[in-house]
Amino acid sequence: MEDFFNRKVRSLSGGQRQKLNILLSILHKPKLVILDELSTGLEAKHYLPVGAVLSVEDGVEVAAGDILARIPRESTKTRDITGGLPRVADLVEARRPKDHAVIAEVDGRIEFGKDYKSKRRVLLHPTDGSEPIEYMLPKGKHVVINEGDFVKRGDMIIDGNPVLQDILKVMGVEALASYMVSEIQAVYRLQGVKIDDKHIEGHTKLAKAIQSYGSLAVIQLHHAGMRSPKEVINQQPVCPSNNEEFDTKALSLDEVKTLRDDFISASIRSQKAGYNGIEVHGAHGYILCQFLSTEINKREDEYGGSLENRSRILFEIIDGIREKCGTDFLIGIRLSPERFGMELQEIKTLSQQLIDKGNIDFLDISLWDCFKYPEDDNYKNKTLLEHITALDYKNVKLTVAGKLSSGKLFP
Ligand SMILES: Cc1cc2nc3c(=O)[nH]c(=O)nc-3n(C[C@H](O)[C@H](O)[C@H](O)COP(=O)(O)O)c2cc1C
């Protein structure tokens, strides 16, 4: 690095490209300076941390996109297999990563202040005009912003793994959930482990623990479809049909089949983990409920239109699970009898068909209030529960939930 000490920034001319000057000032602020040789007088500075490996020499021409220096990133340490599991533990325990990133708390403009001993002073002037926020950053770290830059809330000021508490404070709980999911998945992907299978180990413990109390362990399988928050899943939510209000993307016919197969493979995985059974979530406006709804499902293929078509995926899932998991495995389905675009009469018909088909063990009707009357005036002659209990259950069990607070039917 001695070679670069006290070099002067030279003015350069000629050609279309920009010229590079490498400058290490006596202030111990090593930086790369790119001069625009068209004499606009503009220059870009990149401050370098200790340990940076230069990829260019002084005076060479560079073009946009050229690599100037490589900075060994702290975060790259986690990108191998040995870094993987400790990284997951750090995330789950919300430990502060060593050499963590520093992120901007608000939108604002960056100014480099007067350094203090081994610290680099960076001021962030919030766009709302409030008091500047001061960051005292270790000089050895790679500052990824430049003097005068505008940064957005959550942008990195120092590279590295962000502190979970910072993400929560600055970006909110959904951003934190999204970050944790993508980081943990990245670790498993790197290890070549199928993420879904990775959960079997933990679920085996859970199922065993539930069973140790003499209880059956049944897991609910769920896909939220259009109700998946975009900020958490980092992509446009899917739905049986495009929906402008929820900004959703319609599933293609192939994707509908994948969705069906995913419910079936999740059941196989649940069985491997030792669960006694599964419950398919077809209620509360989640994706299978979206298929059942005439308000939401506008498909023109075999999965939209008549009740038979709208409920096709549900039957295919249930029948597929029964075929793959055998007769000893408990299969239940949860349905909403009303709201979420559901028609009470249709849900009664569908429930009876599911019972008659013989592949479910229990029907779970989500009443939200077991003592209420239907919302629809046409069915107010009896309570929702009375409507539901009037079905012919054969060997199927009925479960309900909603404002049950004692063992007595009429408290
Ligand atoms: C915070 C919260 C989370 C819930 N999560 C689920 C869920 O994951 N799956 C489900 O089928 N129902 C879920 N429910 C609905 C409950 O199963 C139940 O139907 C509802 O709370 C009404 O019953 P209660 O009066 O006994 O609370 C949830 C309810 C609440 C309040």
What is the number of the ligand 1 atom nearest to the C-alpha of 367?
A: 19
pLDDT digits 0-9 by tens, 259-310: 999 999 999 999 999 999 999 999 999 999 999 999 999 999 999 999 999 9
The phi, psi pair for 97, rounded to 5°, reads -65, 145
**Regarding predicted confidence, which is higher, 91 or 39?**
91
pLDDT digits 0-9 by tens, 228-264: 988 888 889 999 999 998 999 999 999 999 999 999 9
Residue-level pLDDT at 19: 54
| Protein residue whose Cα sits closest to atom 17 of ligand 1 | 401
CA 284 – ligand 1 centroid, Å: 10
CA 70 – ligand 1 centroid, Å: 51
- Region of poorest pLDDT, from 174-188, 219-233, 349-363: 174-188
What is the number of the ligand 1 atom nearest to the C-alpha of 283?
A: 11
Residue-level pLDDT at 132: 95
Mutate to test the pocket of ligand 1, among 219, 366, 399 (most ligand atoms within 8 A of CB): 366
- Determine the length of the chain: 411
CA 402 – ligand 1 centroid, Å: 8
What is the Cα 392 distance to its own chain's centre? 42
Q: Which domains does the chain have, with CATH numbers?
A: 8-70 (no CATH), 81-187 (2.40.50.100), 199-401 (3.20.20.70)
The kind and range of the H/E element at 262 are helix 253-272
- The model's pTM: 0.69
Contact 253, 242 (CB under 8 A): no
CA 381 – ligand 1 centroid, Å: 27
CA 368 – ligand 1 centroid, Å: 8
CA 383 – ligand 1 centroid, Å: 20
390-411 in b/e form (b: 16+ CB < 10 A) is ebeeeebeeebeeeeeeeeeee
Q: What own/partner pairs with CB < 8 Å and gap ≥ 24 does 85-93 have?
A: 85/187, 87/183, 87/187, 88/184, 88/187, 91/164, 91/180, 91/183, 91/184
What is the number of the ligand 1 atom nearest to the C-alpha of 405?
A: 26
Q: Measure Cα distances from 362 to 157, 277, 406 in Å.
A: 54, 10, 22
The kind and range of the H/E element at 333 are strand 330-335
pLDDT band (50, 70, 90) for residue 124: very high
Residues near ligand 1 with C-beta < 6 Å? 220, 281, 334, 366, 368, 401-404
